[in-house]
């Protein structure tokens, strides 16, 4: 009788353990969760919002993010507006907040306008970060900056000096006038010119709204009324081909220099024709990939440790330097320079 009672008790205990999942875990089980992309028993879902999805650069960033999520076992929701639509970005963030995603990361069209949605996500317990284009620091924990603002400003000015000389008036064609990265680069360009090339002057800044046709049209109109312009800085990848089209239509190749940012797949033909001699960017695959490792650092609760050691571990990218611990700014690396000789080496 006693044996039967003991057997019954053991059976009951096994049944309870089976239903409850034996919730006491060993250390190796917990580490397996991290490897398999689970947080405790919850699957990790990351929302990644690009500025817009019609840009090959942004699409490539999403592909890099998917590579990292495949490694980490995370689920990625890559979603953004077709065009540079601030309200649409905010709506997407709000939807992800309501769905209680584990983490949200954004490339912002407007830092101030998108910070409230990101702050609401943060207040709801969601890990928030930014990549490519930042929001206000109080609405995210980390930001992956592709290059330093100073480095990008210097690179673009130096490229222009090589093509057009170190004096004269220059036009800047930007994205939207509120774009945080472009505004920071332009400010650094002005500082660098003042300190090193005082006879260079940015005469005007026009918005192409991340649209090739509009970038072409604003350049056409400006150059027709300002024929003495020495060169045009295209400070967004969508502006560069539009500016090059304008230069060709006005038969100003070799007369008005063009440089700035360039996406290889969009600017390749113009590089080979000599409409533009060189332009710069960074790997969008890498910035998307790295953004997921920033999220992993947050999810794993290792942000403070990363700041202490001065870097974030980022898979195949190795160690990404934290260049501003107070603001949580992480650096991807140095810009890539594209010319007619190397542009075919890049597939984005």
> What is the DSSP annotation of 176-187?
STT-HHHHHHHH
pLDDT of residue 347: 87
Class of domain 32-146+284-333: alpha beta
Question: Structure tokens of 124?
Answer: 């709801």
Handedness of CA 136, 72, 37, 321 (dihedral sign): negative
Other beta carbons within 10 angstroms of residue 269's beta carbon come to 13
Within this chain, domains 32-146+284-333 and 149-281 share the same CATH topology:
yes
pLDDT in 10s for each residue of the chain, 348 residues: 333 333 433 333 333 333 233 333 333 333 334 334 455 557 999 999 999 999 899 999 999 999 999 999 999 999 999 998 999 999 999 999 999 999 999 999 999 999 999 999 999 999 999 999 999 999 999 999 999 999 999 999 999 999 999 999 999 999 999 999 999 999 999 999 999 999 999 999 999 999 999 999 999 999 999 999 999 999 999 999 999 999 999 999 999 999 999 999 999 999 999 999 999 999 999 999 999 999 999 999 999 999 999 999 999 999 999 999 999 999 999 899 999 999 999 989
Residue 304: CB partners within 8 Å, gap ≥ 6?
Answer: none
Question: Structure tokens of 142?
Answer: 């980390």
Do the bridges between strand 103-106 and strand 75-78 make them parallel or antiparallel, or are there none, so unpaired? Answer: unpaired
Domain limits, the chain:
32-146+284-333, 149-281
Other beta carbons within 10 angstroms of residue 98's beta carbon come to 11
Question: Structure tokens of 283?
Answer: 């790997």
Residue 207: CB partners within 8 Å, gap ≥ 6?
Answer: 173, 174, 175, 176, 177, 214, 218
pLDDT of residue 41: 53
Class of domain 149-281: alpha beta
């Amino acid at each position: 009788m006693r044996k039967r009672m003991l057997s019954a008790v053991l059976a009951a205990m096994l049944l309870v353990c089976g239903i409850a999942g034996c919730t006491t875990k060993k250390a190796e089980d917990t580490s397996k969760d991290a490897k398999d992309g689970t947080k405790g028993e919850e699957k990790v879902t990351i929302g990644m919002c690009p500025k817009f999805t019609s840009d090959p650069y942004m699409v490539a960033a999403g592909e890099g993010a998917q590579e990292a999520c495949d490694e980490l076992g995370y689920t990625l929701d890559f979603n953004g507006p077709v065009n540079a639509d601030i309200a649409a970005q905010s709506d997407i963030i709000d939807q992800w907040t309501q769905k209680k995603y584990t983490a949200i990361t954004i490339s912002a069209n407007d830092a101030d306008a998108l910070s409230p949605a990101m702050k609401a996500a943060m207040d709801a317990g969601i890990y928030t970060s930014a990549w490519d284009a930042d929001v206000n620091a109080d609405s995210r924990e980390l930001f992956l900056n592709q290059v330093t603002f100073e480095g990008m400003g210097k690179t673009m000015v130096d490229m222009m000096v090589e093509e057009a000389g170190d004096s004269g008036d220059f036009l800047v064609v930007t994205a939207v006038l509120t774009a945080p990265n472009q505004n920071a680069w332009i400010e650094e360009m002005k500082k660098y010119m003042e300190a090193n090339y005082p006879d260079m002057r940015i005469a005007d800044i026009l918005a192409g709204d991340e649209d090739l046709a509009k970038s072409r049209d604003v350049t056409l109109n400006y150059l027709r009324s300002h024929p003495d312009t020495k060169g045009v800085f295209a400070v967004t990848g969508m502006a560069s081909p539009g500016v090059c089209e304008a230069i060709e239509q006005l038969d100003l190749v070799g007369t008005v220099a063009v440089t700035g940012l360039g996406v290889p797949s969009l600017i390749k033909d113009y590089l080979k024709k000599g409409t533009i001699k060189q332009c710069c960017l960074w790997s969008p695959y890498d910035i998307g990939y790295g953004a997921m490792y920033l999220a992993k650092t947050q999810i794993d609760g290792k942000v403070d440790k990363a700041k202490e050691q001065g870097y974030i571990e980022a898979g195949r990218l190795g160690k990404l330097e934290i260049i501003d611990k107070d603001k949580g700014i992480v650096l991807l690396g140095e810009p890539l320079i594209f010319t007619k000789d190397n542009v075919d080496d890049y597939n984005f």
